[in-house]
Amino acid sequence: MSIGHTLLALLESGPRHGYDLKRAFDEKFGHDRPLHYGQVYSTMSRLLKNGLVAVDGVEAGGGPERKRYAITEAGVTDVSQWLAQPEKPEPYLQSTLYTKVVLALLTGRSAAELLDLQRTEHLRLMRILTDRKRQGDLADQLICDHALFHLEADLRWLELTSARLSRLASEIGAAGRPGPDDPKKAGA
C-alpha cells in the first residue's frame, strides 16, 4: 500500500492535521498495522517537499505547533493517476515455504511434516479471520475475504505439493539422500 497516496486521498475531503490523518488511516486501513506518528509526519514532509500538499495553517497548542495540511492540484492529479494504475499481481515464485520444502528434501528431513504443520497454521489463521469476518463491518469483511482467498490458494498448493513430494525429491536429486534426522545416516 502506498501510504503517501492514501494520506493524499484522505486529504481530498478537506485539510487535516497529521494526528487526524493517522486516526483516519488507522480507522479505515490500519486495523492490523496502524501507522506510527513518525511515518505520518515523514510522509507529509516528503509530500510537502514534492508540492503535493501545502500547509493550510499552523496552530499553537500546549505542545509543538500543529500544521494543517491541504492537498494541492498536483496532489489530486497524483492520486488520480495512482488510482487509475492497476496493481501488479504478485506471483509468489520464490516463497519461503517452497524453499523450506526443497531444503527439507535436500537435507533428508520430512517435507511432509513441514507441509502438515503449515496446513495446521493456515487453518488456524483461517478460523481467526472467519470469526473476525462474522463480527466485522463490511470493510472488515472484505479485507478478511481477501486474506481468506489467499489462504485457500495456499492450502490448494500445500495439498498439491504433498501429493508430488516423491516426484519433487527425485527431480531435485534428493531421493534416498539421508538427512540429519535419518537413522540410516548414523549407520543404524
The tens digit of pLDDT for each residue in 49-76 reads: 999 999 998 887 666 778 899 999 999 9
pLDDT band of residue 84 (cuts 50, 70, 90) is confident
CA distances from 148 to 58, 94, 123, 152 (A): 44, 21, 10, 6
Q: pLDDT for 122-168, tens place per residue?
A: 999 999 999 999 999 998 899 999 999 999 999 999 999 999 999 99
Residue located via cell numbers 528431513 = 109
CA 161 from centre of chain:
24
Q: Residue 188 pLDDT more than 90?
A: no
Is 124 in contact with 155 (CB distance < 8 Å)?
Answer: no
Query: What grid cell was written down for 30?
Result: 490500519
Give the chain's radius of gyration (CA, Å): 25
Q: pLDDT for 9-28, tens place per residue?
A: 999 999 999 999 999 998 88
pTM above 0.85, yes or no: no
> Which ranges constitute the DSSP H helices of 88-137?
96-106, 111-135
Q: Which residue in 34, 42, 181, 51 sits closest to 112, CA to CA?
A: 181
Q: Which residue in 60, 74, 59 sits closest to 4, CA to CA?
A: 74
pLDDT at 180: 46
Mean pLDDT of the chain: 86
pLDDT at 81: 93
Q: Please state, for a pLDDT cut of 90, what percent of the chain lies above it.
A: 61
Residue 87 or 110, more confident: 110
For residue 167, how many other CB atoms are within 10 A of its CB? 10
